[in-house]
Amino acid sequence: MNIYFKEVKLLRRWLFMLSFALVFYLVGSDYVEKFINYPVWAVIGQKDWLSFRTAVPAVQLLLIYVIPAFVPILLLLLMIWWRPQGVNRALIFLALLPELWAFVVTGNYFVPQIQGPLSKAYSLSLIEELMRNDFPLRGIPLLMLLVITAVMFIKIAKHNQNFI
């Protein structure tokens, strides 16, 4: 990516490249979570649930999944002022919408109503609710974020005449 952005100022280049990488990391890890991990949760059962849930320390979960999921919000906010040429502010705001939606719906619905209770006790009905609601409420907006981020990449590269 750095090859295509030779003409982009260093701070703007790195803001975008970090945002781009973290968005793709976020969507990839989120899709592994929703399509692989959640179905596994349904078959673990009550007996092994709490030991399963505590197998990964909370600090690791924060460092591997939660923090990288929300850092792009900060990077996008910085790109309102320091964005690569070829990307207008409207596209940055458009990218912020699904990110902020995922943040709000996670904090107001998924964490308090599903993940919090699941960290205390096994509930197949909560796991099924999670599997039923996660893709429509977070998966689709994150897919939109992925597309918007790819469009930004193409616009920057086109603007610099090094790509397409």
Residue-wise pLDDT tens digits, 57-99:
889 988 998 899 899 999 999 999 998 888 999 999 999 999 9
Helix, strand, or coil (residue 84): coil
Number of CB atoms found within 10 A of residue 46's CB:
10
Phi, psi for residue 39 in degrees, rounded to 5:
-60, -30
**63, 120 contact by CB (below 8 A):** no
Task: Determine the Cα–Cα distance for residues 118 and 146; give it in Å rounded to an integer.
Answer: 29
pTM of the predicted model as reported, rounded to 2 decimal places: 0.86
Taking 70 as the threshold, does the pLDDT of residue 162 lie above it?
A: no
Structure-derived torsion over alpha carbons of residues 80, 83, 86, 92, reported in degrees to the nearest 10: -40
E strand spans, the chain: none
Number of CB atoms found within 10 A of residue 145's CB:
24
Q: How does DSSP classify residue 57? A: -
Span 115-139, average pLDDT: 95
Residue 10 C-alpha from the chain's centroid: 24
pLDDT digits (tens, 9 = 90+) for 20-47: 999 999 999 999 999 999 999 999 989 9
Number of CB atoms found within 10 A of residue 67's CB:
11
